[in-house]
Structures are given as C-alpha cells and as structure tokens.
Amino acid sequence: MTPSRTGEDCRLKFVSALRMMQDCSELWIDSEPAYRDYFRANNIAQLLVSRQVDVLRVPRIKEKLTITTGVFGCAGAFGHRNTIIYDESGAPCYATWCVGAFVNLNTGRMSKIPAEVVNSLVIDAKYGMEYLDRKITVPAGESANHAPVEVLRDDIDYNRHMNNAQYARIAAELLPPSFEIKRFRVEYKIPAKLGETLHPQTLATENGCIYTRLKNKSGLSHAVLEFCDR
C-alpha cells in the first residue's frame, strides 16, 4: 500500500482499489496463452459490462495486500470472474464479481469464443458472496444535475475509450465527504471517448444509496453507478 494509492486518512482510495483489481484481471490474460493468443490474432478485447464490489475493510498505508482473480464462468460472448483483495492475514478486504463481454475491435460487435479456447481456461470456484443483478435500476425520484465533465487524454486507455475506473472516480467525487462506501455496483453502457462531455446526475435514497448516471449530450447513459453505505 503505497502513498499514491491512499487518501488524506491514510486509507486505500476506493478508485485505487478498483484500478488494482482491474490491473490484476488484465495481467491474468498472460496466464491463459490460448485465450491470449486467440484474442490477439482476432483483435478481440474483453470489455467490462458490470462490476459489483463489496467493501469488507479498507486497508491502511503500508499494508501488504494480495490481489487474486479467476474466471468462474465463460459462455458465448460473456465471461464471469471474481477478483478479491486480501490482507496479510488472508482476510478479504474487497470481494468483487464482474461480467465482461468479448468484443471485436474491428467491427465493434460482440464475438463468441470458440469452444476449444473456452475449454482451455482454468475455471475457478465461484466466490461466496451475495450476487446482485448486473443491471442497475435507478429508483424513481428527482435527480440532481451536476457540472459537466470533459473526457481528457489521461482518462483514455489502450482500448481508446475512457478507462472503467474513471467513471467511478468522477461519480465518487459527487458523494458527500462523510459517505463510507460499503457496496458499489456499476453498469457500463456506452464507452466515452476523448473530448466527449459527461453530464452527471445523482439521486439519493433513504436506504443509504446514491445513484449516479453519467450521460452524454443526447441524454443516454455512458454508465450507471450505485454507491451504498450499508
């Protein structure tokens, strides 16, 4: 746990935890050569569709953490994985599951993976956690509009759109300073690209959740996010 990953309270920033888990998932590809080589040969990328994060304990500066990831399901054009951050004692700090879609970067369309590639994967046991729906329904109510946010060069990753963690960073900035994230969900819809403008809307509920929609100029959502403090 290095200083650049912590906030003023010397605890791991939520977005830093997302980036660590995201990096672990990307590095996982090298452990599956048949999968990796097929993707490279056919210009296919795994793009995140949704993620759920349960925050069990927020680590502090200089703690030593271990991040693990594994696929527990893969069929057609979708894969399902768990990524867990453990502390030195082996206790989980963050438990997550996500859905990824396999997309052909030449056509922009989803691509099914051949059975022989799927069968080559190591399939791990599904982690024991509560699995909520990957689709997020924003409750009825009046939303608050916030200042627009431009997608900058630093937001873009090698897939040439805004990196997944940046949506959470933008939405987290709109949370009250005292808000303690216990559970997080995000549903990705339309990739945001360089120079586009996001129009955030938030809605708070009585049960301790804040919903954020990051919309484009046409009113369509790039991403829908849910932050809960219990």
pLDDT value of position 159: 87
Buried b vs exposed e over 190-211: b needs ≥16 C-beta within 10 Å? ebbeeebebbbbbbbeeeebbb
**What does pLDDT average to in each consecutive run of 10 residues of the chain (230 residues)?**
96 97 93 93 94 98 98 94 98 98 92 92 97 97 97 94 97 96 98 97 96 97 96
User: Collapsing DSSP states into helix, strand and coil, what is residue 171?
Assistant: helix
pLDDT value of position 124: 96
pLDDT value of position 76: 86
Full-model pTM: 0.95
The secondary structure of 26-53 as a DSSP string is HHHGGG-HHHHHHHHHTTEEEEEEEEEE
Scan for tokens 């809605």, then name that residue: 203
CB atoms inside a 10 Å sphere around CB 129: 15
pLDDT value of position 57: 98
Sign of CA dihedral 67, 68, 73, 74: positive
